[in-house]
Amino acid sequence: MEKIIDIGQYIEVAVDWLTENFSGLFEFIKNFGNGFIEGFEWLLLGIPFYVIILLLTALAYFKVSRSSALFTALGLVLIYLMGFWDETMETLALILVSTLIALVQGVPLGIWAAKNNKVDKIVRPILDLMQTMPAFVYLIPAVLFFSIGKLPGAFATVIFAMPPAVRLTTLGIRQVPADIVEAARAFGATNRQILQKVELPLATKTILAGVNQTIMMALSMVVIAGMIAAGGLGEKVLEGINNLDIGLGFESGFAVVILAIILDRITQALGQKGNNDKLNNLKSKLNKR
Amino acid sequence: MSESDIKIEVNDLTLIFGQKKTQALKMLDEGKSKAEILEKTKCTVGVSKVNFQIKTGEVFVIMGLSGSGKSTLIRCLNRLNEPTSGDIIVNGQNITKESNEKLLDTRRTEMSMVFQKFALLPHRSIIENAAFGLEIRGEEKEARLAKAQEALETVGLKGFEHQKPSQLSGGMQQRVGLARALANNPEVLLMDEAFSALDPLIKSDMQDQLLDLQGEMKKTIVFITHDLDEAIKLGDRIAIMKDGVIEQIGTAEDILKNPATEYVEAFVEKVDRKSIITAGTMMFKQPTTVLLGKEGPESIIRKMRKNALQVVPVIDAQRVFKGFLWLPQVLRAEKENASDLMPYVTEDCPSVYADYTVEEMLPLTPGTKSPIAVVDKDNGKLLGVVAQTSLIIEATKYDREEIQQLKEQAIEQ
């Protein structure tokens, strides 16, 4: 079928223009970002695998549940035995960096949108677009701006993973009861005090749900970013597809699933109250001694 | 009322919600109705040209049904709602013209507010909630916790400091709300339907506690309510509001006895007047009296015939009430040619103070036809007389059954 309107060419022009005129900026971001990602990788790969397994298991034990801790320990050991430890840590590093950047941008934007209806009206459709656009599409400008590698992978991941952070922050702040905010105002609180002492604490649970969502979306995107040489488990999955290697495909697939479940359980638990019982018990026991 | 007695003065206060405020304000000045303004400008008049003055240490109740603008009005006093025009003068300072910084300062030090739904921070402990206002104004942790502790003890919440609001009952939560307001030690307390969300019994308890506290603290309290009984119980003066306009301001008795408009009348009709109307307002203030030792039986008989009286109160030279003298007794005294009338005076008769209510006086009537003397609390001087008939009329208006019972009792005796 013949094209009647060609939107693609305008986007092409825009992206070309950006690449030509902001190459210096992109270069800077690339160097800076790569340093950041490599730093995380260096950290995660530098720590012996058994220490990381122990730390994550302990976190799951105290914050989530005994069974979750068991799953964490067994899952991570399985990943190590399958020989995917380094790839898993690379993927984890990319997830952490992307999530961090997405949150640093997304949470303040969410707060702004909660406070200002105009901002909310503008941001909302953009978030819809960011979330529903097929994830692969982001890889194209990412490659054009930054060529292939880890940083464009992180770039595409940030775009894809940011919406829930923005949305749930806005939601969390908007659902703080109006009378509590009014009470704070009646006692002479400034806008900043209201945000710090009332709105953010009361929205924490919802914002943490957003963090959980962001991490999960980052994970799915990081795997896709294997297509542009972002490394990690994504590249193994891709290798499995390209070589029609069912064994490799499923093995790396399992590693992704294990990582996803561990991250999900732990971040979900952080957002809920009453999970500190065990930790508090331990603290009080230690104090008694 | 001298100048220095006035704590809060509100002049021509108007608040309009909507976009075309200027046009709406102009229409209001032209005397257009709320409905006309709404139709023309899509603006709602929340508060319309309200004027009142509140004295230092007074409990001023603003009462009205929902939508009457009372909550909007109280929020103008600390500018949670920005008035469209008019002045609010607190301690001689015009609140409406204050800069934002000065306004924050006013909210932090001069006025504290108590809310209908308590509005406590669920993630903080009780003592941290009570210290919230102090925290906002930047007091050191130790100082603010000490003050909050004191405020919690004042409202009777000692021992609950480290609980969370959700662990407390509604009444206790509102005590925390009150403690939070008191911890700031403000001169003015704004209470927005503070007890409306509570069970009737708890509500009554809280009202009593507030009155007790007020007896010691002497704050200036602006209290919003939709409950007339509450208004009467708490208010030194009551303002009745409807559609953003104050219909009448006065003491509970003023309003009940002389409702200014039909609306107020309809409102107060439901109230149990027996518990409000006092001996002081219904008594006959200048009764014909007999001065002991000065008047002889003959002149008294003439006086009673002239005024068609069966009975007169007897007083001494200091106007202290001695008892009632009935016509048959005077006639007997005349026959016996007595010089001292005292043996003929009925001393065993009901007497009350001016603040006794109809409800309290009713039990005194069975078994006697005597009027009730109203005497001064301090020196026993006669202030006036309440006739049984007026007492019965006052009571029968609203509760026939009870009067029937009283009559039956009287006959039995």
* A274 domain-assigned: yes
In Å, how far are B252, B360, B397 from B268, measured between CA atoms? Answer: 10, 20, 13
Per-residue pLDDT at A123:
94
pLDDT band, residue B68 (cuts 50/70/90)? confident
Give percent above pLDDT 70 in chain B. 93
A237: in domain: yes
Count structural domains, chain A: 1
* Distance in Å, alpha carbon of A214 to nearest chain B alpha carbon: 25
b/e code A180-195 from CB counts within 10 Å (16+ = b): bbbbbbbbbbeeebbb
Alpha carbon distance B234, B237 (integer Å): 9
Q: Over 50: is that where the pLDDT of A275 sits?
A: no
Cβ pairs A/B, distance under 8 A:
59
- Where in chain B is CATH 3.10.580.10? 280-408
- For residue B57, pLDDT beyond 80: yes
Evaluate if residue A75 carries a pLDDT over 90: yes
Whether residue A13 lies within 8 A of chain B, CB to CB, comes out as no
Q: Which residue has the higher pLDDT, B85 or B360?
A: B85
Structural domain contains residue A168: yes
Q: How far apart are CA B45 and CA B220, in angstroms?
A: 27
Residue B413 has a pLDDT of: 47
Q: Identify the CA nearest to A96 among candidates A3, A204, A192, A232.
A: A232
Most confident of A12-16, A146-150, B190-194, B269-273: B190-194
* Under 8 Å between Cβ of B186 and A187: no
pLDDT at A274: 47
In a domain, A198, yes or no: yes
In chain B, which residue's Cα lies nearest the Cα of A189?
A: B136
Average pLDDT, chain B: 86
Q: B3-110+186-271 belongs to which CATH class?
A: alpha beta
Residues of chain A above pLDDT 90, percent: 63
Average pLDDT score over residue span B39-49: 88
Identify the bridge partners of residue B384 per DSSP, sorted by sequence position.
Answer: B374
CATH, residue A46: 1.10.3720.10
B397 Cβ neighbours under 8 A, 6+ residues apart = B273
Averaged pLDDT, A7-35: 86
| Residue A7 falls inside a structural domain | no
pLDDT in tens, A181-234: 999 999 999 999 999 999 999 999 999 999 999 999 999 998 899 889 888 899
Q: Output the CA torsion sign for B292, B293, B294, B300.
A: positive
Which chain B residues have a beta carbon less than 8 Å from that of A271?
none
| Residue from B95, B96, B85 nearest B27 by CA | B85
Work out the average pLDDT over B96-119: 91
Predicted confidence at residue B328, as pLDDT, reads 87
Q: Which two tokens stand for residue A8?
A: 């693609």
| pLDDT score, position B1 | 47
CATH 3.40.50.300 positions along chain B are 3-110+186-271
The per-residue pLDDT for B402 is 57
Residue numbers of the domain that contains A129: 18-278
Q: Which of the given ranges, A180-189, B27-36, B223-232, B261-270, has the highest pLDDT on average?
A: A180-189
CB contact under 8 A, A189 and B136: yes
pLDDT, tens digit, 9 for 90 and up, residues B236-257:
999 999 888 998 999 988 888 8
User: What are the backbone angles phi and psi of residue A8, rounded to the nearest 5°?
Assistant: -55, -40
Please give the backbone phi and psi of residue B221, each rounded to the nearest 5 degrees, phi first.
-115, 130
For the residues B29-36, what does the mean pLDDT come to? 84
Whole-number pLDDT of residue A85: 93
A182 touches chain B (CB under 8 A): yes
pLDDT of residue B260: 86
Binary contact (B80, A193; C-beta < 8 A)? no
Nearest to A199 by CA among A191, A208, A187: A191
Report ipTM (2 d.p.). 0.76
Tell me which DSSP letter residue B163 carries: S
Sheet holding B245-250, edge to edge: B111-114, B188-192, B220-225, B59-63, B237-242, B245-250
Classified by CATH at the fold level, domain B280-408 comes out as CBS-domain (3.10.580)
> Which of the pair, B363 or B89, is modelled with greater confidence?
B89
Residue of B275, B290, B180 whose CA lies nearest to B233:
B275
Torsion of the alpha carbons at B261, B262, B264 and B269, rounded to the nearest 10: 140
CB contact under 8 A, B133 and A190: no
B132 CB within 8 Å of a chain A CB: yes
Can you tell me the mean pLDDT for B107-116? 92
The verdict on residue A8 lying in a domain is no
Rounded to 5°, the CA angle B174-B175-B180 comes to: 95
- Rounded CA separation A69/A66 (Å): 5
B112 touches chain A (CB under 8 A): yes
What was the pLDDT predicted at A54?
A: 94
Distance CA B181, CA B111 (A): 8
Looking from the CA of B24 toward its CB, the CA atoms found within 13 Å total 25
A236: in domain: yes
Q: A183 vs B80: CB contact, 8 Å cut-off? A: no
Candidates A179, A187, A202; nearest CB to B133: A187
